[in-house]
Amino acid sequence: MSNALNDVTVDDVIATVTKLVAAEFGLPEDQIGADVDLSSLEGSDSVKVLRTVAKLERAYDIELEDDQVFGLKTVRDAAQLVVAVLEEQR
């Protein structure tokens, strides 16, 4: 993987996750705060969250475990998990 991914910060990933959530949920990005509970978003369901996770895995070339994925509540949770997994891979 490129060195660029080794330097990814939580804020970087928050921006990416926000874009992915906005696209998947069909909502404007400014309605998706980093600490908003994803299950409270309009039209939220588990499939949309899983699709977002699948795109996140692809974007960062990582694999997340189900127990990690199903514990995610917010955009920040997802971003922190991605950064933690990337750090483990270094």
Binding residues (CB under 8 A) for another protein: these are 47, 50-51, 53-55, 57-58, 61, 63
68: number of CA atoms within 13 Å, CB side? 16
Shorter beta-carbon distance to another protein: residue 12 or 57: 57
Q: How far is the CB of 47 from another protein (least distance, A)?
A: 6
Considering Cα of 25, then 28, then 33, then 37, what sign does the dihedral take?
Answer: negative
Q: How far is the CB of 4 from another protein (least distance, A)?
A: 14
Helix 75-89 to helix 10-25 angle (10° resolution) is: 130
Shorter beta-carbon distance to another protein: residue 61 or 87: 61
Q: How far is the CB of 58 from another protein (least distance, A)?
A: 6
Shorter beta-carbon distance to another protein: residue 35 or 61: 61
Calculate the alpha carbon distances from 80 to 26, 27, 28, 43, 75 in Å.
Answer: 23, 22, 22, 24, 9
Q: How far is the CB of 25 from another protein (least distance, A)?
A: 13
